[in-house]
């Protein structure tokens, strides 16, 4: 199956494949036509660049013009793994991959199927998450089919992704590394390797990207974010009593008192990594139930929860 998938990639086709974060929609990163098919399949705006996947740090100069010390340090510490580094791009990388910009985002995924696919294809693989633009990211093969069935040439089913949310994106082209998208590699982990890092997209220039489109990773059902369980209860209890079907996603311990036939409770783990692993699956599941709204109690506003809070905030953006 992987050999066949590698052939599809080499022939300019699209392969959806599992990584340790979410499923990716892959094409030969050095083939502009193949990459343009990714944008078409996803309905992705041409202004949003895609990540290039390699199977080993030694391949990085096929896609990057230079490999600065900070990049090498971070890659040494976290590759293969859920960390994407934004670096100056090599000429071989077509403009469509980088949305016309001078930098390329590179990642070395830590998943045996992704690794094998890149190796057998023998080319770097451009891959955004395998969902329609602005919709929920897929962490299972069935999520991929929900959005992209009929738009891809082949899907490699590797079961559920263990990480569950997209990689941390760090721009290392400036003096101080800048986290453009939080993820399972936290700011604390990055700082332990390379000293101070900055957080958030710059207002101008190529660093604006992960957060560029506010609405992102969204279910179709409206999501209502609450800082506390009480706030959520105040918001939905009357609705529930009128038999309006509401979802509640929470990691707060809850009394049985709040059980109601119109309330669909999705308990989440009170641990950032475990929560992340289930986040999109929980949203996909609740989104398929025809609920009027999904209430979410936000995990605490702490550094270790930054990535989960970021995805929830985007999912709720109108």
Query: Which residues form the interface with ligand TXA (CB under 6 A)?
Result: 19, 21-22, 24, 48-51, 82, 84, 86, 98, 101, 103-105, 107, 109, 127-129, 166-167, 169, 180-181, 206, 209-210
Helix or strand run (H / E) with residue 70? helix 69-78
**Torsion angle of the four alpha carbons 79, 84, 87, 91, in this order, in degrees rounded to the nearest 10:** 90
Give the shortest CB-7-to-ligand TXA separation in angstroms.
Answer: 21
Binding of Mg ion by 218 (CB under 5 A):
no
Give the shortest CB-62-to-ligand TXA separation in angstroms.
Answer: 16
Binding of Mg ion by 207 (CB under 5 A):
no
CB nearer to Mg ion: pick between 129 and 207: 129
Select the span of 3-11, 56-64, 125-133, 267-275 touching Mg ion (CB under 5 A).
125-133
User: What would you report as the CA-atom Rg of the chain, rounded to the nearest whole angstrom?
Assistant: 20
CB nearer to ligand TXA: pick between 105 and 229: 105
Contact yes or no for 144/160 (Cβ under 8 A): no
Of the candidate residues 21, 84, 98, 129, the single one contacting Mg ion (CB under 5 A):
129
Contact yes or no for 313/225 (Cβ under 8 A): yes
Give the shortest CB-307-to-ligand TXA separation in angstroms.
Answer: 11
CB nearer to ligand TXA: pick between 114 and 248: 114
CB nearer to ligand TXA: pick between 67 and 258: 67
Task: Report how far residue 245's alpha carbon sits from residue 271's, in angstroms, rounded to the nearest whole number.
Answer: 27
Chain centre to alpha carbon of residue 181? 9
Contact yes or no for 87/68 (Cβ under 8 A): yes
The binder of 279, among Mg ion, ligand TXA, none, by C-beta within 5 to 8 A per type, is none
User: If DSSP codes are grouped into helix, strand and coil, which group holds residue 73?
Assistant: helix
Residue count of the chain: 318
User: If DSSP codes are grouped into helix, strand and coil, which group holds residue 155?
Assistant: strand
Give the shortest CB-39-to-ligand TXA separation in angstroms.
Answer: 10
Choose among 165, 166, 158: nearest CA to 17: 158
The binder of 51, among Mg ion, ligand TXA, none, by C-beta within 5 to 8 A per type, is ligand TXA
Binding site residues, Mg ion, CB under 5 A: 129
């Amino acid at each position: 199956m992987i050999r066949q998938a590698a052939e599809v990639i080499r022939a300019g086709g699209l392969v959806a494949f599992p990584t340790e974060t979410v499923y990716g929609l892959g094409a030969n990163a050095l083939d502009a036509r193949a990459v343009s098919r990714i944008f078409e399949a996803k309905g992705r705006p041409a202004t949003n660049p895609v990540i290039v996947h390699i199977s080993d740090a030694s391949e990085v100069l096929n896609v990057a013009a230079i490999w600065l010390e900070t990049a090498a340090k971070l890659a040494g510490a976290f590759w293969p793994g859920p960390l994407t580094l934004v670096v100056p791009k090599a000429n071989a990388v077509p403009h469509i991959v980088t949305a016309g910009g001078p930098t390329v985002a590179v990642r070395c995924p830590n998943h045996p199927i992704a690794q094998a696919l890149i190796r057998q294809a023998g080319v770097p693989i451009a891959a955004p998450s395998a969902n329609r633009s602005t919709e929920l990211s897929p962490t299972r093969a069935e999520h991929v089919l929900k959005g992209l069935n009929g738009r891809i040439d082949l899907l490699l089913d590797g079961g559920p992704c263990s990480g569950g949310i997209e990689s941390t994106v760090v721009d290392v082209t400036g003096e101080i590394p800048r986290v453009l998208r939080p993820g399972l590699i936290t700011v604390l982990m990055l700082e332990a390797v390379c000293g101070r890092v900055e957080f958030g997209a710059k207002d101008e220039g190529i660093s604006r990207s992960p957060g560029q489109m506010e609405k992102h990773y969204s279910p179709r059902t409206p999501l209502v974010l609450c800082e506390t369980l009480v706030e959520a209860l105040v918001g939905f209890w009357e609705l529930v009593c009128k038999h309006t079907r509401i979802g509640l996603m929470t990691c707060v311990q809850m009394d049985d008192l709040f059980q109601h036939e119109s309330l669909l409770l999705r308990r989440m783990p009170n641990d950032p990594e475990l929560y992340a692993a289930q986040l999109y699956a929980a949203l996909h599941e609740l989104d398929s139930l025809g609920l009027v709204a999904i209430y979410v109690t936000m995990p605490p506003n702490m550094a270790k929860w930054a990535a989960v809070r970021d995805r929830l905030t985007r999912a709720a953006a109108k």
